[in-house]
């Protein structure tokens, strides 16, 4: 019986850093968490314990810090490109580099009418993300948004849905919709102005969520994806996940009070989840 090694990869996870760039009268910061994976010729290490092809994961971590020192605060996609180029250049045994990056967003503390030049506040739990899949022949990059929490109090309904003997949900109009948006999109190439496009996609998603007269979460998701693809020529596919946070109307009738969609029960325990890819066909 023959036994052979299948697909495999290794690397370093959860490399965290804070990059500070100091200029006269102004500081800029970027907080990132990075995951790095290698694929390549590592059969000797697995089958015979021969480690000459294994670059230590600790070295990967050190490389992140060194490259962060060499390059300025920039879009996380560009930093991922620097890492992939470095590892592929100096490691002939590596055929593919996979990099995942998550940026914790900070904003400047206001000081009077102006933003403070060197003091920051975390902008909630939302994160900017990027993933890179790089070989010596091709590189693909996806940018994304994670944990973008939104809520609107009108223009959302859910009616005429399929029912079976276990269905208790009633048709509803003018529902409160609270959701967590996660999205990532695939670029046509790597020659992209990542920062402006990321902010533009985020703005498009939020505006469409707010203005769309939704018949369901599926309906809202597709409208958001369609708006992004129609607006940005250099994005060919977007994956969107909407996690519906449970918001139910409080029953105040036992207390002799009406509730004209003003008091809701919130729960962090139950969530509906809708996700899909929306892509261009040409």
pLDDT tens across 154-177, in order?
887 776 677 888 876 676 776 778
Q: What does the pLDDT look like over 9-58, one tens digit per residue?
A: 999 999 999 999 988 999 999 999 999 999 999 999 999 999 999 999 99
| Same-domain status, 177 and 156 | yes
Sequence-distant (≥ 6) Cβ neighbours of residue 96 within 8 angstroms: 9, 38, 39, 40, 133, 134, 135
Alpha carbons 181 and 168: distance in angstroms, whole number: 27
Domain count, the chain: 2
| Same-domain status, 113 and 163 | no
What is the per-residue pLDDT for 270? 58
What is the per-residue pLDDT for 169? 67
CATH number at residue 79: 3.10.270.10
Domain span including residue 115: 10-137
Count CB-CB contacts under 10 A for residue 101.
25
What is the per-residue pLDDT for 68? 94
Indicate the pTM of the whole model. 0.89
| Same-domain status, 172 and 129 | no
| Same-domain status, 94 and 120 | yes
Low-confidence ranges of the chain (pLDDT < 50): none
| Same-domain status, 131 and 172 | no
| Same-domain status, 269 and 173 | yes
Query: Is residue 65 one of the residues assigned to a domain?
Result: yes
| Same-domain status, 156 and 124 | no
Query: Is residue 3 one of the residues assigned to a domain?
Result: no
Sequence-distant (≥ 6) Cβ neighbours of residue 15 within 8 angstroms: 33, 34, 35, 36, 60, 61, 64
Sequence-distant (≥ 6) Cβ neighbours of residue 202 within 8 angstroms: 145, 148
CB 31 within 8 A of CB 104: yes
| Same-domain status, 79 and 169 | no
Alpha carbons 279 and 93: distance in angstroms, whole number: 35
- DSSP β-bridge partners for residue 203: none
What is the per-residue pLDDT for 201? 97
What is the per-residue pLDDT for 72? 80
């Amino acid at each position: 019986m023959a036994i052979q090694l299948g697909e495999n990869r290794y690397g370093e996870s959860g490399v965290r850093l804070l990059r500070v760039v100091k200029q006269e009268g102004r500081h800029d910061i970027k907080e990132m968490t990075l995951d790095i994976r290698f694929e390549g010729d590592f059969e000797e290490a697995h089958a015979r314990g021969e480690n000459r092809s294994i670059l230590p994961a600790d070295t990967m971590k050190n490389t992140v810090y060194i490259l962060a020192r060499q390059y300025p605060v920039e879009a996380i996609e560009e930093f991922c490109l620097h890492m992939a180029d470095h590892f592929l250049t100096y490691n002939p045994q590596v055929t593919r580099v996979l990099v995942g990056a998550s940026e914790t967003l900070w904003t400047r503390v206001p000081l009077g009418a102006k933003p403070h030049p060197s003091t920051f506040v975390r902008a909630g739990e939302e994160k900017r993300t990027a993933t890179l899949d790089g070989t010596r022949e091709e590189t693909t990059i996806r940018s994304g948004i994670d944990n973008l929490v939104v809520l609107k109090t009108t223009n959302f309904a859910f009616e005429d849905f399929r029912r079976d003997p276990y269905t208790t949900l009633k048709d509803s109009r003018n529902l409160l919709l609270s959701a967590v948006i996660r999205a990532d999109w695939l670029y046509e190439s790597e020659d992209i102005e990542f920062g402006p496009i990321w902010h533009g996609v985020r703005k498009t998603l939020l505006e469409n969520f707010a203005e769309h007269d939704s018949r369901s979460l599926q309906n809202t998701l597709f409208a958001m994806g369609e708006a992004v693809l129609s607006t940005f020529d250099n994005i060919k596919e977007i994956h969107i996940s909407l996690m519906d946070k449970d918001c139910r109307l409080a029953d105040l009738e036992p207390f002799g009070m009406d509730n004209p969609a003003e008091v809701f029960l919130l729960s962090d325990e139950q969530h509906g989840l809708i996700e899909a890819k929306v892509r261009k066909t040409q």
